[in-house]
Each structure stands twice: as structure tokens, then as C-alpha cells.
Amino acid sequence: MRRAHLAAGACLVALLLYPVVNPWQPYPQAVLLMGFLLAVQATSWNIISGYAGYISLGHSMFLGLGAYTVGILAVRWGVNPLWVAPLGGVTATVVAVLIGTVVLRTRGHAFVIITIAMLLAAQIIAVNSRDLTRGSDGITLELPFWHRDFQNIPFYYAFLGLLVVTVLFSAWIRRTKLGTGLVAIREDEGKAASIGVHTTRFKVVAYAASAFFIGVAGGVYAYYLTFINPVGSFAILGSVTIVLAALAGGRGTLYGPVAGAFAVNLVSEAATVYAGGVQSRVLLFGGALVLVVLFLPKGLLPTAGAWWRRRHPAKVEYIEQPAALAVRERTPPPAAAPGEVLLSVRGVSRRFGGLVAVDDLSLDVRQGTITALIGPNGSGKTTLFNLVTGGLPADSGEIWFDGRRIDRLRPWRRCHLGLGRSYQVTRLFKDMTVRENVVAPLADARWRTMLSDAVRGHEAERARELLDLVGLGRFAGQQAGALSYGQQKLVELAQVLMLEPKLILLDEPAGGVNPSLLGRIAEVIRELNAAGVTFLVVEHNIPLVLDLCDPVAVLAGGRLIAEGPPGRVREDPVVLDAYLGADWVPAVR
């Protein structure tokens, strides 16, 4: 990333010096400033569509809103458009919040179609609001106040400055917990909600943030053109160009949309000059979009970066894995008196059509215990976890946590109360680094937490401590998807611990884990429990359950069939018949 910053700095210096070195050629300046404008739009679009993964095909609407806001105010107030250009960004942001609160409840094809509809609706409103916008006749602005010898130079620097601020703003967002939360939403929105990310708020904030600088640019662009009309301000081709620029350069990266914008703008200008104008541009953009999706799905910069890493592979750091800690017969320490009920499931049921996954189930988990939840496959264990954490709604019954009813709360609200969970199949955000995965959770809903720095400061220091706790501190900078399955299990545990939970639901922590890491997982659970963390563990490794957990609850057919100390449960004839088998004996340990 350091090389990318240095290259960007060198390009910025060259662009700053260009009008000084070559001030008497307005055409190249005009081409470059249009590239700056497209880069501002693509970088802003990248916040909602690159980071959060919500593809918008109507983002040029905000350029038109900014242009009309500035044009109307400049004419009515008799002021220079540049002075009121920031108000174009304010208008775009307000409209984005109002629209985003509604449309961001959808995603996928529905969201794309709605954004196109909003763009077309804005064009129709501009045509029909003649008293405000002068309809199809458009609004004519005053000519620039500077001497004509300066030509496009003031606009050149205005758009370049706006581009620099937009890129810095995008970089700042990506460094915060807001940025990591947006990437988490892109990769797995359900998992993001389960680690405390208020997904609705994050998406609305990102949508509003992606509109502001486009609105400001729209105001400056209106002054540059000195004329605004509905068709030109709310053109669908403008939105397609924005999307093409971001995809071509590298969606979800910092500098990809900028590089893509310059490439697309130069090709577009060449098509206009040499290939016959607008019709050729439409055909060119359509073909280019198809080619990018088919052959450069990650964009120019990510593809070039991957090629460079293949040619210059980085040194891989290895960490000595702790030796397998044998699960052995031992004299258990004196059991502490069970605390008050922390989690209470009361008569909960959940059906999937004709299948009853959880059937009038009642279960209590007491504070300070490591409670096991065992049973055959299909007995409802994972479904119960989903009901407790909010991944699924219960058909009936009540769920209480720490003295508060939670079955009607959203997943992130339950998480903020101190409820964390891991998954049977790890659901890490694999395009993030290990450190970013651990930093992503939010323990509360405060704005200060959402906007805190995820790279430095308290959050990053806490993540470093947790990675050291699970023995993976040296992997903090590596991609989470490059770790082994057992290491990913440990990272997911560290991710949950970032929430400082009162109760952790572990879904098969030993499943698919190398024996060299199984002992480490068990020891971490014991250490955390000794520090006051309560666990509810789903596990099929019965020797591990008998050694680690007390008490043990057994499910079968969605019902609780046995509950009590491990020694009594393993000899219960009902449990032997339904799950363990009559000839079951503990493995040699």
C-alpha cells in the first residue's frame, strides 16, 4: 500500500504542475478536469457500492441535484455559484438519507432497479417543476468572473482539489470501524449483524457519504457549463460511466476508481473525437462493461497487484503451533456454585414448513458455566443458536438474556447486550486481514465507536491483545482466507471476544480442527471461563465435552431429553438410546 501512496503522490504533483508548465492549451486541461469529475463520482460511488457491495445505477442523480441546487440559488440570490457549491452537497446528502432509509432495506436486483427508477423520477420532476427549474428550457448561469486568459485553469484546480478531498475522505472511512463494517456487510451481512454492526445505519451513512462530494461537484460542474437542463443533469449514461470507471479500475479499492475514471474518460474522449460522437460512446461503454466483467472482474489495479505478488512473493511467516494438549483423565477442580440464570429459553418453537426444528424447548444457562448442548444431527442445536442470536425469528416462546427479553430485538441489539457466537462453518470476512476481522465487531451503538480508528488506537491495541491470546498475533496482517481452518476458528473466537461478551455461543469449535490446535482452543475456553465468561457449546466431540463442560444438555427431535452433570448424562439410558448408542464407552484419553 505504501507504493500505491507514493505513486498517487507523484501523479498528484504532476497534475498540479501541468497547468503551470503548459498553461496555453485549454483542450487537454478540459479533458483532465472531466477526468477529475468522473473520478470524484467513481470514488464516491465506491463507498456504497465498492465497500458495502450495494450496486447503484442511479448515482448521477446526485450530480444533477447538486447542479440544480447551485443553479437555482445562484440565480435567485445573485451570488457566484462557487460560493454555494457546498449546498449542492448538502442537498444530495439529505436526499440520499431520505431515499436510503427506504431503499436500503432491499438489495441485489431490487436495489439496482430502484436506483435507476429514482434517477428517472428526478429527471421527470425537473422537467415538470417549471416554476423552480424552468423545465426543459433549463437554467443559464453567469459566465466565470476571471479573465478569459485563465480559461479552464481555475476549474481544473477546483476539480482536482475536490478529487483529493474525496479520496482522502474515502481513505478515512476505510480506516474506521465504519469502513470495516461496510466491507463486512458486503461479504456477509448476516454475520456482520451478529457481531454488532447496525447494518441499516451503516448502509444509510455510506449512501449519504457517497452523495455529498458528487453534489458539490455538480455545483461546480454547473458553473463550468453555465447551463443546466433535466436531460443532461439526470442522464442514465452518466451513471453507467461511473460504474464502468469503478469496475475497470478496481471496485472496493482506494485508487482503483480514480485510475478507472481516467482510463474511461480518455477512451470516451477518443470515441467522441474519432468515432462519431454519442452513439459510438454508448456502444463503446456497453462493450467495455462486458469485457471488464468477463476478463477483469477485479479491475486493473487488483489484477496488476495480484500479478506483482505472484512475481515477487512475500515471505510467509510461520508460527509454532502448540503441541496437542491431550484430553486426559484428571481430577476436576472444585466446581464453583452456579450463578444466576444468564440465558433463559422458555417454550420456544420454530417450524420450517412441516418440519419442527425446535419444539417447545426450555433451557437455562447459568452464569459462569460451560454448558454443553449435544445431540444427533438435525436435533435443532444450530437452529436454537440462530433463534437466540436473532438469525431466525421464533414462532412462539420467549428468550431472556441477563434479565431482559430479547427475542424481539434485532441481532446487533442482542450483540450489544453481551451476546456473541461463533459458527459451525467459520464465517470470517476472508477479503479482510486478520486484524480487520478482529476489529470489525462493535460492542455498542455509539457514533463515537462507529467512527473510531480501526487501524490505530484502543481498538487496534485490543485486537492485538486478543490475537496474542489465541496465539495468532503474528498473522495479524495476513488475509483471513489464507489461514488454516483451525486458525480461522481461533480468529473467529478472538473476533467474538472483541465484543467483551457475557455469554458466548460456540457452534462446534472442534469441528474440522487439526488436533494440534484442538488443545489450544480448549485451554482458551477454560482461561476465558475462569475470567468470568459463560459458554454454551454445541459439540460432537464427546470426550472433549465430558472433560470441558458442566452441565450438559441433550437435544433430540427439537426437544430437551436430558440435562445434568456430564457423568450422569453419559449414563442416561435415554441419551444412550437417542444419541450415544447402547454400546458407547468413552475413548481412551
pLDDT band of residue 334 (cuts 50, 70, 90) is very low
Residue-level pLDDT at 336: 42
- What's the chain's average pLDDT? 87
The CA distance from 63 to 217, in Å, is 7
The CA distance from 86 to 70, in Å, is 8
Residue 205 has pLDDT above 90, yes or no: yes
* Contact indicator for 215, 66 with CB cutoff of 8 Å: yes
Taking Cα atoms as reference points, which of 345, 414, 391 lies closest to residue 563?
345
Residue-level pLDDT at 275: 64
Strand partners, 483: none
Instruction: Provide the grid cell at 151.
Output: 480559461
pLDDT in tens, 262-289: 999 988 888 777 766 566 666 777 777 7
Least confident of 27-41, 79-93, 105-119, 413-427: 105-119
**All residues at 6 or more sequence positions from 458 whose CB lies less than 8 Å from its CB, including other chains:** 452
Residue-level pLDDT at 281: 67
The CA distance from 471 to 325, in Å, is 15
pTM: 0.89
Residue 418 has pLDDT above 60, yes or no: yes
Residue-level pLDDT at 318: 47
Residue-level pLDDT at 278: 60
- Among 303-317, 321-335, 449-463, the range with the most confident prediction by mean pLDDT is 449-463
- Count of C-beta atoms within a 10 Å radius of residue 326: 10
Right CATH number for 341-580 from 3.40.50.300, 3.40.190.10, 1.10.1200.10, 3.40.430.10?
A: 3.40.50.300
Residue 47 has pLDDT above 80, yes or no: yes
Residue-level pLDDT at 319: 46
What's the sign of the alpha-carbon dihedral 89, 217, 106, 170?
A: negative
Give the three-state DSSP class for 37.
Answer: helix
| Residue given cell 471461563 in the structure block | 529
Residue 331 has pLDDT above 70, yes or no: no
Instruction: Provide the grid cell at 436.
Output: 480487520
- Count of C-beta atoms within a 10 Å radius of residue 389: 20
Residue-level pLDDT at 322: 42
The CA distance from 67 to 88, in Å, is 7
Return the amino acid letter for 584: W
Any alpha helices (H) in 250-323, and if so which ranges? 256-274, 278-295, 300-311
Taking Cα atoms as reference points, which of 511, 545, 446, 7 lies closest to residue 201?
446
Domain segments of the chain as ranges: 1-309, 341-580
Distances (CA, A) of 203 to 196, 441, 450, 474, 578: 14, 16, 12, 32, 46
Tell me what percent of the chain is helix, strand and coil, each rounded to the nearest 5: 60, 10, 30
The CA distance from 123 to 121, in Å, is 5
Strand partners, 579: none
Instruction: Provide the grid cell at 15.
Output: 497534475
Instruction: Provide the grid cell at 105.
Output: 432495506
Instruction: Provide the grid cell at 312.
Output: 515477487
Give the helix/strand (H/E) hosting 552: strand 552-556
Taking Cα atoms as reference points, which of 525, 375, 450 lies closest to residue 182?
450
Instruction: Provide the grid cell at 438.
Output: 478482529
The CA distance from 73 to 75, in Å, is 5
pLDDT band of residue 454 (cuts 50, 70, 90) is confident
Taking Cα atoms as reference points, which of 229, 224, 208 lies closest to residue 68?
229
Taking Cα atoms as reference points, which of 548, 538, 541 lies closest to residue 383?
538
Average pLDDT, integer, range 248-275: 88
- The b-or-e profile of 306-322 (16+ CB within 10 A means b, else e) is eeeeeeeeeeeeeeeee
Supply φ then ψ for residue 267, to 5 degrees. -65, -40
What's the sign of the alpha-carbon dihedral 426, 510, 414, 533?
A: negative
Any alpha helices (H) in 426-551, and if so which ranges? 434-439, 447-450, 458-469, 485-497, 515-530, 542-548
The CA distance from 59 to 41, in Å, is 8
| Residue given cell 481555475 in the structure block | 154
Give the helix/strand (H/E) hosting 113: helix 109-128
Residue-level pLDDT at 314: 61
- Count of C-beta atoms within a 10 Å radius of residue 295: 8
The CA distance from 549 to 450, in Å, is 36
Taking Cα atoms as reference points, which of 217, 216, 160, 221 lies closest to residue 32?
160
Distances (CA, A) of 30 to 224, 225, 227: 10, 11, 17
First vs last Cα of the chain: how many Å apart? 49
Least confident of 5-19, 380-394, 409-423, 472-486: 472-486
Right CATH number for 1-309 from 1.10.3470, 2.40.50, 3.10.310, 3.30.70?
A: 1.10.3470
* Contact indicator for 227, 71 with CB cutoff of 8 Å: no
Any alpha helices (H) in 22-105, and if so which ranges? 26-45, 60-77, 81-103
* Contact indicator for 320, 474 with CB cutoff of 8 Å: no
Residue 323 has pLDDT above 60, yes or no: no
**All residues at 6 or more sequence positions from 327 whose CB lies less than 8 Å from its CB, including other chains:** 519, 522, 543, 544, 547, 589
- Count of C-beta atoms within a 10 Å radius of residue 70: 33
The CA distance from 199 to 206, in Å, is 10
* Contact indicator for 529, 535 with CB cutoff of 8 Å: yes
Residue-level pLDDT at 125: 94
Distances (CA, A) of 235 to 66, 67, 231: 14, 13, 6
Residue-level pLDDT at 320: 45
